[in-house]
């Protein structure tokens, strides 16, 4: 993980606007994924929820189930 001061980050975004697009894309992807996880946890039975979470982790790590 990379950390940076606010002023340095703003300067970097101004110099390289495509970085902001990439960051927003990643944040949107993570938000969608989190939304699906919350929905599954709220609406599914416990066994189904755990199974789906494990399957998602396996797929995310690039391993075959």
- The pLDDT assigned to 35 comes to 92
Number of Cβ within 10 Å of residue 25's Cβ equals 10
CA 28 to chain centre: 7
Structure confidence at residue 64 (pLDDT):
54
Q: Domain extents for the chain?
A: 6-60
Q: What tens digit of pLDDT does each residue of 6-61 get?
A: 899 899 999 999 999 999 999 999 999 999 888 877 877 778 878 888 988 898 88
Confidence class for position 1, pLDDT limits 50, 70, 90:
low
Q: Is 49 exposed, middle or buried (0-12, 13-18, 19+ CB in 10 A)?
A: middle
Q: Are 21 and 29 in contact (CB under 8 A)?
A: no
pLDDT at 46: 79
**DSSP 8-state symbol, 1:** -
């Amino acid at each position: 993980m990379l950390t940076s001061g606010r002023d340095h980050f703003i300067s970097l975004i101004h110099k390289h606007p495509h970085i902001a697009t990439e960051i927003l894309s990643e944040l949107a992807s993570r938000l969608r994924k989190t939304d699906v996880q919350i929905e599954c946890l709220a609406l599914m039975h416990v066994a189904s929820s755990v199974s789906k979470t494990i399957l998602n982790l396996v797929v995310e790590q690039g391993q075959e189930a």
